[in-house]
Amino acid sequence: MRTYAGHSTAEASNELYRRNLAKGQTGLSVAFDLPTQTGYDPDHVLARGEVGRVGVPVSHVGDMRRLFQDIPLDRTNTSMTINATAMWLLALYQVVAEEQGADVAALQGTTQNDIVKEYLSRGTHVFPPGPSLRLTTDMIAYTVNRIPKWNPINICSYHLQEAGATPVQEIAYAMSTAIAVLDSVFASGQVPEDRKGDVVGRISFFVNAGVRFVEEMCKMRAFGRIWDQVTRERYGIGDPRQRRFRYGVQVNSLGLTEAQPENNVQRIVLEMLAVTLSKDARARAVQLPAWNEALGLPRPWDQQWSLRVQQVLAHESDLLEYDDLFAGSHVVEEKVASLTAEALAEIEHIERLGGAMAAVESGYLKSQLVASHAERRARIESGEQKIVGVNCYEGTEPSPLTADLDTAIMTVDPANEASVAQAVRDWRTARDAPHAGADTPHADPPAAEALRLLKEAAGGDANLMEATLECARAGVTTGEWAEALREVFGEFRAPTGVSSAPVAVAPEHGSDLARVRADVERTAAELGLGTGGRLRLLVGKPGLDGHSNGAEQIAVRARDAGFEVVYQGIRLTPEQIVSAAVAEDVHCVGLSILSGSHAQLVPDVLERLRAAGAEASPGPSGPGDTPIPVIVGGIIPSADAEALRTAGVAAVFTPKDFGITEIIGRIVNEIRTANKLDPLEVPA
């Protein structure tokens, strides 16, 4: 039983962990902040606004010491949600365990370490697919030989469902990832033939459980059936215990609503039942989101509520006392067989494309997810897929839970970032200062030498774990480790999937989309863009927030409404966004931020637009010669939304604004208002 936690600083997160363990939590699930996940130090330009927001910043071994102070690592099961920099964080964890006097071979836990889903849905990838697979391969080989109780990879289909995957896609893409990883490990020659079962036996999965209870429960049975078949037939694993489908779960966050957020509690309970009720497909570990995740960062009390939900099921109900309740069900067996057959067919298709890594690089997997998500959004907007409190039963009594929205979520002190950034600068200075009595006072500092050896190893074919451990011991920082590997491996910008996504909502005559498309064409004509001229919308993702699902759906619908869309993907600086807006002569800039960094990054974009002579909506300096309205979407508390509008943002959209076509219509009107044209009627 876990809650996914970490924020602000290592010290604050350590206090939270010890408090949660005292409440009955039986494992730790560490959330790292976005700079740590993407290989940047807190004082890097891309880390602005992101330090300590969605997790804990860990920049070096000193931070890791403070994170686990007074928590004995040889008696703790720790799950770390970390991918591109997984090898680095495992090395820091091992070094701290050694300092505690722990037997490294006794360490238990999991590093997520699934880079494929980062390319597809979560956006914290750093290196290209080939080098990333090498890092994963080296970690698996190292842990199997040195930390045998550690789960070195957690194949993560959770984020695929968050990005719109159907159950079939979730199964197929996760299994294709596992196949790519196992093929690489066994081809590397680092694991003897007689230990292949040990590798397979340490592979674990992290899945999503949505609100469609029967389908989700059957999905888990299909997952187990396919994994057993693949490991037995493809890899020859004879021991059924090593073929067991070992999975943890976080239930669905995509379906959590900002409207009537109290309804999220029953959604969470129903989703938890899908992965606990069926003994033959029961999760080994469950972590639940909080009821207010769609509003912002949950408070400790909200996390406690989620933990208590699990404890009531485990200790008060009788659900865990019986054999499988669904064995022999014709309905369940039929659904499981259908999901299994369809998923196997998709796995075979991906194999024909060259495997999971090739399907990432070609953009096939991403475009499929963007299309599936677009279809889901279209069903919600049409009312075909009902969401209580959102598109039906919208009337509500005032909620005491959200009477004061500004206290219904946790906030991170913005001053925290400056102190953390200064702390890492101080660490580097102290680390590299000459030490009295050194044998070779003019030699390179140990950190510089460790980084040189890391790059040398990366340029060859050695296992990178040993060089990474030496970097950790020498006090190298997260940003330095990642930058050294960037120099050797390069960086990777994943395909966005937007241009190749099919039309999800046809602009049929008389439809809302058809009316908005007509408004787009009329506005382009009134602005004198000429025959065939189109309005241009720049969709930008400033900072390190890689959750691009919302941005992609806006981009696809705007494209279908007749806009020319400029979308360069994730991880851009405000400078890059403004430069693109000016160069492309766009009519509107849309910024998507879900990490909470909007308060710092959005005003920066506004000021840079003003400085470039492309004034956003009227702000303190008055309208510019070429007005470009700026709109913002994300998980933005009401007080922050008001502050953004005061700063000059034309409109703010949050998860309650689920009608994408309506949003596009409102964007058209913001363009018209900025250009002193009369507004048009927007479809409701």
Active site residue 159: yes
Identify the CA nearest to 565 among candidates 534, 525, 536, 523.
536
Task: Tell me the three state secondary structure of residue 110.
Answer: strand
CB atoms within 10 A of CB 619: 19
CA–CA dist 684, 681 (Å, integer): 9
Catalytic residue among 158, 173, 364, 567: 158
Crossing angle of helices 263-274 and 300-315, in 10° steps, is 40
| DSSP conformation letters of 16-82 | HHHHHHHTT--SEEEEBPHHHHHT--TTSGGGTTTTTTSSB---SHHHHHHHTTT--GGG-EEEEE-
Q: Are 137 and 185 in contact (CB under 8 A)?
A: yes
Catalytic residue among 4, 17, 119, 364: 4
Q: Are 72 and 109 in contact (CB under 8 A)?
A: no
CB atoms within 10 A of CB 575: 14
Look-up of token digits 């910043």:
57
Active site residue 541: yes
CA–CA dist 120, 472 (Å, integer): 30
- The tokens describing 346, both together, are 């998709």
Q: Which residues is 5 bridged to in the sheet?
A: 30
Active site residue 442: no
Q: Which residues is 589 bridged to in the sheet?
A: 538, 630
CA–CA dist 242, 228 (Å, integer): 9
250: enclosing H helix or E strand? strand 247-251
Catalytic residue among 43, 114, 545, 604: 545
Q: What is the DSSP letter of 209?
A: E
CA angle 131, 136, 138 (to 5 degrees): 90
Active site residue 158: yes
Cα distances (Å, whole numbers) of residue 302 to 7, 22, 274, 311, 434: 15, 16, 22, 15, 48
Look-up of token digits 């930008």:
540
> Kind of pairing, strands 247-251 and 285-287?
parallel
Catalytic residue among 196, 335, 541, 598: 541
Catalytic residue among 44, 125, 335, 547: 547
Catalytic residue among 44, 60, 117, 159: 159
E strands, 157-231, where?
204-209
CA–CA dist 653, 661 (Å, integer): 13
> Taking the mean position of all CA atoms in its chain, how far away is CA 196?
31
Task: Tell me the three state secondary structure of residue 297.
Answer: strand
Tell me phi and psi for residue 211, to 5 degrees.
-85, -10
Amino acid residing at 658: F
State the catalytic residues: 4, 158-159, 541, 545, 547
